Chain A
Amino acid sequence: MLSIETLRQYGADVEEGLTRCFQNEQFYLRLVKMILEEPNFAALKSKLEEKDLKGAFEAAHGLKGVCANLALTPLCKPVNEITELLRAETEMDYAPLLEQILNGKEELRKLIEE
């Protein structure tokens, strides 16, 4: 079950996240759980497959704001990286970065659903 402690172990900066939620743990955890319904993970994947870098950037950018606000540090790093690359419309293989991001999400899913 998701808790402040398991989130901390996951690598989230829970102090920062809680500060943004006026220290309301329940509220913070509720928001973290909502990341599973975040549509931008799927959008990022499909736009990259379509080689739509602009569309992929918008999805990455959306994820970046959400992950940063929730202080999900392990996700923030690859999401920030891919956002900047897509902003510059860098032609490259995005598969490894995308995998890192989707793995990070999967890890969270396990934490939440366990």
Chain B
Amino acid sequence: MTQLHPAADYRRKVLIVEDEAINRLMLGNIVSRDYEVLYAQNGQEGLDIMKENASGLSLVLLDLLMPVLDGFSVLKIMHEDERLRQIPTVVLTSEGDAEVDSIRLGAMDFIKKPYNNPEVILARIQRIIELFEDRKLIRNVEYDQTGLLTREFFLEYMRQMDEREKADRDLIAVRIENFSLVNEIYGREEGDHILATLADSLRHFLTVHPGIAGHEDAGRFYLYCTHLEDPNELQMIAEELKKLEEIPRVRLRFGIYPVTEQEDADLENRLNSAVFACDSLQESASENIALYDHKVHEEQVLAERLISDMDRALEEKEFLVFLQPKFNVENDKPLIAGAEALVRWKHHDLGMVSPGTFIPLFEKNGLVHPLDLYMLEECARIVSGWWKEYGTKIPVSINLSRIDFYDADLKKKLDDVLAKYGLEKPDIHLEVTESAYTDDNLIVERIREMQEAGYVIEMDDFGAGFSSLNMLSSMPIDYLKLDLKFARTVDTDEKQYHVVECIADFSRYLNVSIIAEGVENREQYEALKKAGCAYVQGYYLDRPLNEEDFLKYIRKEEEEC
């Protein structure tokens, strides 16, 4: 006899529910050759055992005429119970007419009394268990924990819908904004609750706009449904979620890729396009629905192009370092004190690409990490060149991204590059954005390790997010770079001026120096200086310079030395 799935070398459990002792033992003797057998003498006893072992039972063999609770009643109760319904049941019968009723109530097959050849009985039991286990296996792959289709099956059913009938439909990507954060703040259980609620509300939506719904990863869902005349109909899904009182700020974003009868893009591409439209919505944007239109299409094409050109650009050194001079303004005359390294992409085909275009893109998919390391190496080369050529050097700060800190070898990589170019740790300052500090304790610990090893740490964009003065006292920081917004209003808004003054006072006490960036005119410059900022950078003093143009400062340093 062939074996059931080899993965299961344990003995599956079969329950025999039969009131006649002789029949029970005879059947038990047959079944126990291949299975572990449990016995019940009537329907009630059978149900009790099923409830105790529901997920562990592979099959129930059920007699129909029994005292206390008969087989029909057992089938009915099983049928109405979510868990018991999952157990395949074979009815033991000698009554031809009862078979139809049993089938209606969910029985899978019959074993007739008197019993047939035992081998036949065992073969039938095996076949039914196999069928059920395969079905369960397929269901598990087809649907995920939310009860929605998995990506693969969503794509397959999309294909089938198109094949059956060409029509105008919408493919919609749905994303829960910052879902990982929701999980972190409210806990996994609450996160799962949100996913289940959203799945329900998508199912409800499909009763109005027939179609299918799928779930990919944590916060990402899909719909493929009849075309929406008004995309704002999607707001009913968001409304449902607003009922979750305990989590006040769950926001949904939708990206719609309209599929016409003439559609020829393949399924994966369509799905990616809907996702791209969804992700093109900025976090701060008030609207939450994006249509995949010509503009989004152009953006997507550019994004894909930039991502695929990244490796080549690194090899061909298409990324250029620009240096934004940083001045010490504590004396009458501003003195060059360092530079912030800014990246520019001189694309071989597209020309200059703005960092505003490619940095957010690379931050999303992690490509920013190799770019940051590239910048580190380039800056080390430049600073070391100054030293060799002019016998002078000033520190250059490079920007590190969140993802860099998840590289356990980051410190070693930094050390190696500095060693390779014969530099000291304070020669390359590390800029870390304020939000990275508030994201993850691991990041803070890694920054602390760097600082303790001798690196100079600059906290970037201070005041843009949720940081507080209090946190400054416990965080590893050497320099504080004020967010651009301070420089913009410090000369016109008295309150803002006092805020800067207060930050500067407090920082002085902590031995942390303040750097103001984005200084564009004399008024701003004077106000920041007066408020106590020791360092300033911005167009008012100088613009970002390429390597060659920056040499004017190095030569000047050389002369003064």
Task: Show the binding face of A for B, using Cβ within 8 Å.
Answer: 16, 19-22, 24, 27, 31, 34-35, 37-38, 58, 61-62, 64-66, 68-71
- Find A19's partner among B23, B65, B117 (CB 8 Å cutoff): B117
For the complex, give the distance between the alpha carbons of A21 and B115 in Å. Answer: 10
Q: Tell me whether A64 and B118 are in contact (CB under 8 A).
A: no
Q: Tell me whether B25 and A31 are in contact (CB under 8 A).
A: yes
Q: Which residues of A contact B114 (CB under 8 A)?
A: 16, 20, 65, 68-69, 71
Q: Tell me whether B29 and A70 are in contact (CB under 8 A).
A: no
Q: Tell me whether B29 and A22 are in contact (CB under 8 A).
A: yes
Q: Tell me whether A34 and B22 are in contact (CB under 8 A).
A: yes
Q: Tell me whether B118 and A65 are in contact (CB under 8 A).
A: no
Q: Which residues of A contact B117 (CB under 8 A)?
A: 19
Mask of B277-302 contacts with A, CB within 8 angstroms, 1/0? 00000000000000000000000000
Q: Which residues of B contact A20 (CB under 8 A)?
A: 26, 30, 114-115, 118
- A sample of 12 inter-chain contacts (CB < 8 A) reads A20-B26, A22-B29, A22-B118, A27-B29, A31-B22, A31-B26, A34-B22, A61-B94, A62-B65, A66-B20, A68-B114, A70-B22
Interface centre among B22, B26, B29, B65 (most CB of A within 10 A): B22
A99 to chain B, nearest CB (A): 23
Q: Which residues of B contact A21 (CB under 8 A)?
A: 26, 29
Contact A68:B113 (CB < 8 A) given known A20-B30, A22-B118, A58-B65: yes
Answer yes or no: B7 CB below 8 A from chain A CBs.
no
Number of residue pairs spanning A and B whose beta carbons lie under 8 angstroms apart: 52
Q: Which residues of A contact B22 (CB under 8 A)?
A: 31, 34-35, 38, 66, 69-70
By beta carbon, the residue of chain B nearest A38 is B22
Q: Which residues of A contact B33 (CB under 8 A)?
A: 22
Q: Tell me whether B23 and A66 are in contact (CB under 8 A).
A: yes
Q: Tell me whether B113 and A65 are in contact (CB under 8 A).
A: yes
Q: Which residues of A contact B26 (CB under 8 A)?
A: 20-21, 31, 69
B93 to chain A, nearest CB (A): 9
Given contacts A65-B20, A69-B23, 16 further A-B contacts (CB under 8 A): A16-B114, A19-B117, A19-B118, A20-B114, A21-B29, A22-B29, A31-B22, A31-B26, A34-B21, A64-B94, A64-B113, A65-B114, A68-B113, A69-B26, A69-B115, A70-B22
Q: Which residues of B contact A16 (CB under 8 A)?
A: 114
Q: Which residues of A contact B20 (CB under 8 A)?
A: 62, 65-66
Q: Tell me whether B30 and A65 are in contact (CB under 8 A).
A: no
Q: Tell me whether B29 and A65 are in contact (CB under 8 A).
A: no
By beta carbon, the residue of chain B nearest A30 is B25
By beta carbon, the residue of chain B nearest A58 is B65
B30 to chain A, nearest CB (A): 7
Q: Tell me whether A68 and B29 are in contact (CB under 8 A).
A: no
Report B193-242 residues with CB < 8 Å from chain A CB. Answer: none
Answer yes or no: B19 CB below 8 A from chain A CBs.
yes
Q: Which residues of A contact B118 (CB under 8 A)?
A: 19-20, 22
Q: Which residues of A contact B29 (CB under 8 A)?
A: 21-22, 24, 27
For the complex, give the distance between the alpha carbons of A22 and B193 in Å. Answer: 53
Q: Which residues of B contact A61 (CB under 8 A)?
A: 65, 94
For the complex, give the distance between the alpha carbons of A38 and B30 in Å. Answer: 21
